[in-house]
Amino acid sequence: MKKIGVLFGMENSFPGALVEHINARNLDGIQAEFVQTGAVHLDKTPSYAVIVDRISHDVPFYRAFLKHAAINGTAIVNNPFWWSADDKFFNYTLAAKLGVAVPATVILPHKQLPEGTTDRSMRNLEYPLDWDSVFAYVGEHGFLKPVDGGGWRDVYHVHNREEFFRAYDQSRDLCMMYQKAVEFTEYFRCYVVAQKHVRIMAYDPRMPHAERYVQNPPAYSKKVLRRVEQDALKLCRALGYDLNTVEFAVEDGIPYAIDFMNPAPDADLHSVGAANFEWIVEKVADLAIAKAHSAPAVPALLWSAFLGAAAAPAKAAPKKPKAKKKAKAAAVKPKRVGKTAEKVESAAAVAPAAVAETATVIATAPAVNETQPDDSAEALEEAIELKLMKTHKQRN
């Protein structure tokens, strides 16, 4: 019997519904339950084929337990190694490299010294900090928020320098980011499951928590919804998350990725609504069952593998070669493409190509069968090809 375990904290509706939904399918050899664990013995293999993690970001004991389970073959949703290493500023850096629009953002030194440090620990820091350059880049209307946080904790909305410094003075020893405010006309929160299913939900972060999911939303631009879907998939594939929410604020028709480090996203019935709740329960159940069928599976423990989950971006249109060089280029290119294909095939276990599926979208988003080209496509393709070459050499 392969067991699917759900590890959770204070939430009530989603964990029970997920267990009930999986067990109601009466699948031969698969059963779901709430995880039970005590002291974790080094020499004992966990009994779960799959664990859906909803709480380890708040409980270090659970995170260590999940890493032990993962290296012993349990499939964890989401990968505890990458989740431990991730942070929001890195997310924005990666998004910019992938061609996803993000607001101007800076990372700032701690206002107070972190515990165990002194002034001598900070001798590499510029002092005084060039605040004029910060405001010239970001502006005076923005959000001050932790580099590694969630749930809107320690987030400050500021409109001028006075409000900024008042908020910064309250940030204690947290590492904070300052991000330009997007004057949005539409805002979307997207569930992304298995790096292929997307549900776009109209969302208003200015409302009280229980009222943020917009009921009966208006019609939205199909072009904007297509880009939202594509960018949500692109980000989750690059980050390797099997379950995530991605938020976009739309200004002048451009969706800016605001928050996409949510590996244990809100799935409470009373906040997301019945239709969204049923969708996320079903899709996560499908994901957990699929992973149970393929378990055990020990994860690749190389950082390059974690960041290699994204399919290579679409190539930019090739420049028209000069007439004299055209014949030579035509003779060389097929050979190079063939070698690249062999490298991609040999590295498939490390960097599998993700297959896009039509997203289910509130507000009638159309199916998407194409990828947005990026300005950085060629550079990223070269980097991925180099990574695949290194992987190929390591295997041989």
Domain with CATH 3.40.50.20 in the chain: 2-85
Alpha helices per DSSP H over the chain = 13-24, 60-71, 80-85, 88-98, 131-138, 161-168, 222-239, 269-272, 274-294, 303-306, 323-346, 377-395
Domain with CATH 3.30.470.20 in the chain: 186-294
Summarize pLDDT for 215-246 with one digit per residue, the tens: 899 999 999 999 999 999 999 999 999 999 99
pLDDT, the chain, mean: 83
Q: How far apart are CA 34 and CA 37, in angstroms?
A: 10
Determine the pLDDT at residue 319. 53
Determine the pLDDT at residue 341. 39
Asked if the model's pLDDT at residue 14 lies above 50, the reply is: yes
Q: Please, what CATH class does the domain formed by 2-85 belong to?
A: alpha beta
- Helix/strand/coil for 129: coil
Which residues touch 171 (CB under 8 Å, ≥6 apart)?
110, 111, 112, 144, 146, 154
Asked if the model's pLDDT at residue 261 lies above 80, the reply is: yes
Of all residues in the chain, the percent with pLDDT exceeding 70 is: 76
Split at pLDDT 50, 70, 90, the class of 193 is very high
Asked if the model's pLDDT at residue 196 lies above 80, the reply is: yes
Residue type, 16: G
Summarize pLDDT for 147-181 with one digit per residue, the tens: 987 777 899 999 999 999 999 999 999 999 999 99
Average confidence (pLDDT) over 366-389:
45
Domain with CATH 3.30.1490.20 in the chain: 104-180
Asked if the model's pLDDT at residue 131 lies above 80, the reply is: yes
Average confidence (pLDDT) over 245-262:
97
Name the token pair of 374: 């990026």
Average confidence (pLDDT) over 254-279:
95
Asked if 200 contacts 275 with a C-beta cutoff of 8 angstroms, the reply is no
CATH number for region 186-294: 3.30.470.20
Q: How far apart are CA 279 and CA 167, in angstroms?
A: 38
Asked if the model's pLDDT at residue 391 lies above 90, the reply is: no
Asked if the model's pLDDT at residue 72 lies above 80, the reply is: yes
Summarize pLDDT for 76-108 with one digit per residue, the tens: 999 999 899 899 999 999 999 999 999 999 999
Q: Please, what CATH class does the domain formed by 104-180 belong to?
A: alpha beta
Split at pLDDT 50, 70, 90, the class of 355 is very low
Average confidence (pLDDT) over 367-374:
37
Average confidence (pLDDT) over 325-333:
40
pTM attached to this predicted model: 0.76
Split at pLDDT 50, 70, 90, the class of 340 is very low
DSSP state of 325: H
Asked if the model's pLDDT at residue 287 lies above 60, the reply is: yes
Determine the pLDDT at residue 20. 98
Determine the pLDDT at residue 82. 87
